[in-house]
Structure formats: C-alpha cells, structure tokens
Amino acid sequence: MVADGTTLSMMPQIFYNIALFSTIFFVIKLIIFMVFGGDTEVNADFNSEFDTDTSFNFISVQSLLAFLMGFGWMGYAALNQFGWSNMNAILSAVGVGLAFMFVSALLMFGVKKLEKNVKKDKTTAIGKTGKAYTSFDEQGNGKVEIEISGQLTVADARNKGDNPINSFDTVKVVGLKDNILEVEKVIE
C-alpha cells in the first residue's frame, strides 16, 4: 500500500520496496560517510611510513545500494508512470541501476583521490632529533619517532653509536643507508 491508500500489484510493489529500502540505507550510509569519513582508520599527524593505495572499487556497499536504488525507482516509474510492460520495466531498471552504480563508484573514486598522500623524503630527517620508539642494542636496529617531510613518523633506524638506546631516549639522525635512518643517542 502506498501513501495515498492505493494498493500496488505485485511487480510495482517489489520495485517500490527495493527502491524505498535501498534509498533509506543509501542515505544512512551517506550520512555516516559525511560524519565519520570514508575509512574506519583514525587519521592524525602521527603516521607510519607505509602509504596505502587508493584503488577503484566498482563493487562496494555504496555502489550496490546505488544500483538497487536506481533499479527500484526506475522499475516503479516504468510500470506506474509510463505504463511499460514488465520486461521493458526490468530492462530499463537494470540499465538505470547500472548507471547509478557506475556514477556512485566514480564519485567515490574521485573523493578518494582527494586524500592527501605525502611522499616522505627520509633525507629531510638527517640532522634532526627525535625519540627512540623501541630499544636498540649497540649497532642494532629499531624504530624512531621523528619528523620526516613535515610529518611525525615512526621509521626504521639503525644505531650507529656505541651506546645502547632505550625507548624514549633522544636520538639524532646522522645518516641514511638502504632507506634506514642511522641514529646516535644524544647524551645530555
């Protein structure tokens, strides 16, 4: 039954229910996307040194909801507004649903491309001081928290000094070899 009290036959009612529920879920998902962002990760100034790849996901929850929304509303309109046959309504609904799906996926791809992806040049850390993130033995490897290309980053490092380095000790970057920062403990 529709808002005006009329009863729908079976096929338009199926299209109507698909359209209504997918539109509700699409709007809820869109609101969640706008309020909380596209990912479940928490973004901050503190990043790891690994970058993630933005890929084009044609089949996603958002694009499937867009397909069902376009499919449902077009099928419903084709039967109730245009008076088309069931077969023409289904074909047009699939076509419009695929178009909605493609446009939704394309828009999400465009939004993901807007994310800031800073390329980190580790040579910018040479001469800077930071904190040991893990403990280092003499000539051992570990991780340091240091500013690289303007971002606070946890990066792989090697102890170039003769003193062991404990977590949270202040370290200075003295070089870069094989993409690993070379650090020495700052003696205070």
The domain segmentation of the chain, as residue ranges, is 10-113, 122-185
Helix (H) or strand (E) holding 176: strand 170-177
pLDDT in tens, 137-170: 888 899 999 998 888 889 999 999 888 898 999 9
Decide which of 1.20.1260.10, 1.10.357.10, 3.40.50.10700, 2.40.50.140 is the CATH code for 122-185: 2.40.50.140
CA-closest candidate to residue 130, choices 68, 176, 181:
181
Question: Is the pLDDT score of 119 beyond 90?
Answer: no
Alpha-carbon separation of residue 37 from 23, 67, 107 (angstroms): 20, 22, 14
143 by DSSP, 3-state: which?
Answer: strand
Question: Is the pLDDT score of 46 beyond 70?
Answer: no
Q: What is the pLDDT of residue 47?
A: 45
